[in-house]
């Protein structure tokens, strides 16, 4: 049994109590946000409720967020693709709460009705990992999500890492950026959990529910620094492959710089 899964089963009573209270608080938040979402949807304008809900989940989960840098889009830009590293499920509500971004997600999530319903509220674009053409076939859906939310976040690793480094970036996930729509910025984002990254990472054979429970059982707040790095420019934007390489290099450089500060 993986150490992380064993740890999830060994949560003490106080931790289980925190999980119960936090899940209850999340359900109350959901029940309050759903009718408000549908009410505001009648206006036809951008709906702020998904950002409110996801940001609230992050706060309930005990995530203490610090933001550095400037989130795109910055005028005259009209939208942004945010390319971020991926460590755990908490990355999604944390980044959405800070930016209001929609997400590109694998189509496996769409098979769970409740999850699909919640994702649809936030303009999630589902793609099939096994079909490279899937993103091309949904370019308009991707761009519609940007028009509605102002930003679309992608995890180019395609899965979660242990938070201490980066996996290869899959340029096929960036097909909707090739060619890049006019007025759209491409911004690398580092989600930095510091020295505790490996402890919360969702990796190996650990079930998603186990990772969810482990994070909610924590007594101490979990510090997350969201680093908005400079938007890509020039030749870095020539193709999806150059975008993937430049974004990965920027995030890896920032991650290694943070590791050096911790070591000092």
Closest CA to 144 of 102, 174, 99: 102
Task: Tell me how far apart the 2 most distant CA atoms of the chain are, in Å.
Answer: 55
> pLDDT for 60-76, tens place per residue?
999 999 999 999 888 77
* 103 and 92 Cβ atoms separated by less than 8 Å: yes
* Res 4: pLDDT: 44
CB atoms within 10 A of CB 70: 11
Helical (H) or strand (E) element with 138 = none
The structural domains of the chain, with segments of one domain joined by +, span 3-263
Return the DSSP state at 87. -
Q: pTM value? A: 0.87
Q: Is the Cβ–Cβ distance between 217 and 9 less than 8 Å?
A: no
For 189, the token pair is: 């984002």
Q: Tell me: domain 3-263, CATH 3.40.1130, correct?
A: yes
Average pLDDT over residues 124-149: 66
């Amino acid at each position: 049994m993986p150490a992380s899964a064993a740890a999830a089963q060994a949560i003490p009573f106080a931790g289980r109590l925190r999980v119960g209270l936090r899940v209850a608080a999340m359900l109350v938040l959901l029940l309050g946000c759903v009718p408000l979402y549908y009410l505001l949807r009648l206006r036809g304008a951008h709906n702020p409720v998904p950002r409110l809900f996801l940001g609230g989940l992050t706060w309930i989960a005990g995530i203490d967020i610090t933001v550095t840098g400037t989130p795109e889009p910055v005028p005259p830009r009209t939208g942004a693709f945010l390319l971020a590293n991926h460590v755990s499920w908490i990355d999604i509500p944390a980044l959405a709460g800070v930016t209001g971004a929609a997400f590109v997600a694998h189509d496996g999530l769409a098979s769970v009705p409740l999850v699909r319903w919640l994702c649809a509220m936030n303009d999630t674009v589902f793609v099939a990992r096994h079909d490279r053409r899937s993103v091309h076939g949904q370019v308009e859906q991707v761009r519609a999500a940007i028009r509605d939310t102002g930003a679309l976040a992608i995890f180019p690793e395609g899965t979660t890492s242990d938070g201490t480094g980066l996996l290869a970036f899959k340029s096929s996930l960036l097909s909707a950026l090739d060619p890049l729509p006019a007025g759209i910025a491409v911004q690398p984002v580092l989600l930095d959990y510091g020295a505790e990254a490996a402890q919360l990472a969702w990796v190996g054979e650990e079930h998603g529910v186990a990772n969810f429970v482990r994070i909610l059982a924590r007594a101490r707040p979990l510090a997350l620094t969201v680093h908005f790095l400079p938007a890509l420019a020039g030749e870095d934007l020539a193709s999806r492959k150059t975008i993937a390489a430049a974004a990965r290099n920027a995030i890896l450089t920032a991650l290694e710089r943070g590791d050096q500060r911790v070591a000092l």
